[in-house]
Amino acid sequence: MPPMHDPTDVQALKLRAAQRALELVEPGMSVGLGSGSTATLWIQLLGQRVRDHGLKIKAIASSEDSEHLGRSFGIPIVTFEDCPRLDLTVDGADEIAPGLALIKGGGGKLLREKIVAGATESFVIVADGSKIVNKLGKAALPVEVIPIAAPLIRRSLERLGFTVALRRSQNGSPYITDEGNLLFDCSGMVIDDPPALAAKLDTTVGLVEHGLFLNMASLALIATEDGLLERTS
């Protein structure tokens, strides 16, 4: 698929994927509200269904932004105390590789996104065709770290072969996640063996979470100029 440069075209593709994901929602479901531009479109469509048509659902959000957006449409927001298992979560992705291996977290919400995804029966990705890759690694891999451990973890990530950059906010200060941690963006390396890398990152003390989402998604709805792809593996 050739690269798309018209933002209007890309927005239309994202909307197509979000509309298809809306068809998966049934009355009475508990749903996870993902993060990112395509998931935001889905939340808006879902919210309109709740506000204008009385759809009865409850939701847990993967970010403060998604929670605020959901509440603005009257979507009932609950907690895992009230609802320990979700029927459906719809979220975006930075990259989608074969086997539905994902890089997520470009928006800085990866920890809560992974918590919500892990508590979900059906985890569905919505994206446009630009997110499809043969191997992960073109997009930077976000890594969330405890601030005191940041210098140690940076060196560990560099030893793995990554170029590591501390994410910063628009004003130049370090970006702080919803949970009060720092984010490293790790680039410059094709990820040939995502499970092996995930295993190394999972055992790194002070590393809170990483943006490799493996064996989690059950379906990806990918809108391309040639139509909507529905990938299950």
Domain positions in the chain are 7-132+214-231, 141-208
What whole-number distance in Å separates Cα of residue 212 and Cα of residue 203? Answer: 14
Q: What is the pTM of this model?
A: 0.93
Q: How far is CA 226 from CA 16, 83, 163, in A?
A: 12, 39, 35
CB atoms within 10 A of CB 29: 17
**In this structure, are residues 113 and 92 in contact, taking their beta carbons and an 8 Å threshold?**
no
CB atoms within 10 A of CB 200: 15
Closest CA to 107 of 86, 90, 85, 91: 91
Catalytic choice (26, 81, 95, 113): 113
Query: How much is the pLDDT for 72?
Result: 97
Identical topology for domains 7-132+214-231 and 141-208? no
Instruction: Look at domain 141-208 and name its CATH class.
Output: alpha beta
136-175 pLDDT tens trace: 999 999 999 999 999 999 999 999 999 999 999 999 999 9
In the residue annotation, 113 being an active-site residue is answered as yes
**In this structure, are residues 34 and 118 in contact, taking their beta carbons and an 8 Å threshold?**
no
CATH of domain 7-132+214-231: 3.40.50.1360
Query: How much is the pLDDT for 108?
Result: 94
Query: How much is the pLDDT for 233?
Result: 75
- pLDDT < 70 positions in the chain: 1-8
